[in-house]
A and B are shown apart, each in its own frame.
Chain A
């Protein structure tokens, strides 16, 4: 049994993926271990703590201004439905990009795994692509493509902002996802390839039926992490003028000099991304347990 998992990544600022290491929530487990009395103490202490904290916040000088600017109830009521509707544009951006990324990144990863000297130029192309688009800030790619290409005025080239938004996100995220796939491909033990080839399967057939199904299964958690990052990055497309949730919040905010619309958008994001992150963490933990059990056999 091989114990080599997908390549571990080092966390860098701005990387949408969370840092490596223990990621399961350890908030509640000590309580569960200690039983009823400690649960009661935790509840009382939590209630007291938050009452004190909110009293301090509410009685701080300037709280009235903060509340008005960020947490205006009336503004929230007006903005939230608009922003939620505009968020559908982000969802559309995300869904279309995600499907394209999954396919395109797989092509890049397979290109990079082609063996032999004949395929050197193809491998090189894949390496240059992943290096380049992992190195350039997403916002630059969006600007260059979203403003730059339509400005050329070449006939037949679409000038839809939505289109160039999708293209930019696909280019940037495919570079990351291709690396995730590649780590997965490399984590499948060489003996699997030997077994497949020894049965007369061609290189392509071995890849398709034996290597990729195992590789993709192993990288589902990191893939999901990348897609949480992608969801958040869809707001960047607003900067080339696409009217989506962030832009809508900006318009609302500028009209009233109030920041509550941005808070409303933040709420939308939190509601969606926090459960997804928890789900991924649970998957990772389950995967780790399964792998440890496998090694123990």
Chain B
């Protein structure tokens, strides 16, 4: 590799880092504003117009904060853990294409690479929890590990379904093969599995079990402060953006949009960003709506529902490919299975088709004799 190429690569990576930092800042602002709207607040307003500079102020505050270190932590592991979380989340962006041309290295094994690296960051969470030698952090770290095991498999299987349809692990090919219609239409089941498993991977509501504020008070991050905490924070939001971007690339046609030319870079970036931010808004919307699942409920959802469903998804996809049926047949199969699953889960979780209304009004006629 010549010096010029190396220089180009380094500048591209630095540019990527800058771009992702800007994205993270925009995400924190968006999340606070959007959640504020959901909760009838107006969100940050003081710093800059519409509070636009609030994330900058937060970043400055975090950097300037004293980095507290408890005397009983395992120092090396403690300092390395944020990096272990951050580096893989950053590395997967090397092969995520924004448009056809805007990508650092378009790997042929792109999807494989992304899946393999995204697993690594959870190791960082576990080590962070362990090194903090804080009981909440340990609980949180183990919760993160449990979550990883339950959700990595359905995530991989959902991605496998897409890879089978596209006949490629290269993200550019995956997007290009969605030229006619996006895979969200052909494989809604895969989309839902990917999105739910992705939420669980991120540890966002309703699966925010490892940082659960009301239970383990921030989980693995409880002892971190200042810049080290900021690295975790950065990683979490980059991850959120990555899952949203992957959802868009795998299921919503990436930078393609019906009626628009796919090879114009500027337009492609715009389409891609709009789609990604819409997916992210859905993630925030879920966060503003739902309570948190319990760890055993999360595990049973993962193993008893998502893993079998993901296998079914792979099976129906292969049947569809083998016999060369029309695309709508797969859509129908996928939708039918999805509908049945959702209905069944809803029924199980409500314990009856309509919720048991166990609270009733007691209007006594001779109340003095009945109790007291």
Partners in one complex: no
Name A's B-contacting residues (CB within 8 A): none
